[in-house]
Amino acid sequence: MAAQPRPPEADPPRRSRAPCAHPARTREGQDPPPADHPRRAPGGDRPTRPAGRPDRPKTRPPAPPARSRTRRPSFAVASRHRPVVVPLRRCGLSFHTTAEVVHHFNRAFLDRDTSSLAELIADDCVMEARDPAPDGARYEGRAECLRFCRSLAEERAGRFEPEGVVVTGERATVRWRYRFGDGPADSVRGVSLVLVRDGRIVESLSYGKTTGDTRSPG
């Protein structure tokens, strides 16, 4: 017996949806708030504040005063972070640049500070003095150069006055005047060619404009 075709199944009946009765209803299953809801106005247009809640002030509180944009003077910052100057013989450090080494070498003669010379002269240092002519005295090694420089710095009969310094890399040209009296002719001018390596003087060759028996810086 041949199977008879099954009649097509009828689609399930669709549920009829009632039109939205309240504008606040946005999705299925959500009931609109009642008409007497405390957050709804009687007209249902916009929410109102619940009873007993104070209204916020309509005016904003005054803004704090603007911070001054004036920059503090540089000397005020520098005064708080002022570096402490420690003598070279106390800190045990050496200078690195040629200008620094030459500057402190000249200051040692001006201040007659022989204790700081030891940190400025290298072990293999070579120095040539202006006198005696024609080649001048030559000093080799740290001990001889240090002894020569200390004798010049401690001498009270003369006074060393640097006139100018020109630095080019490791080399420096120092122009100086050495006074051995108070008269206008009681002085001699000269120049020293200085070589600095690793923060110490390794060579200092001095030359003068005149020859004589006066002693001058090396």
Question: Could you report the per-residue pLDDT of 11-20, keeping only the tens digit for each?
Answer: 666 665 555 5
Of 100-114, 138-152, 178-192, the least confident = 178-192
Amino acid at 152: L
> DSSP assignment of 174-196, as one string?
EEEEEE-SSSTTSEEEEEEEEEE
pLDDT in tens, 118-132: 999 999 999 999 888
**pLDDT bracket for residue 80 (50, 70, 90):** very low
CATH no. of 93-208: 3.10.450.50
**pLDDT bracket for residue 73 (50, 70, 90):** very low
Mean pLDDT of the chain: 74
- Give me the pLDDT at residue 185, please: 82
Burial of 67 (0-12, 13-18, 19+ CB in 10 A): exposed
- Give me the pLDDT at residue 134, please: 82
User: How many Å apart are CA 140 and CA 128, to the nearest integer?
Assistant: 9
Map out the domains of the chain as residue ranges.
93-208
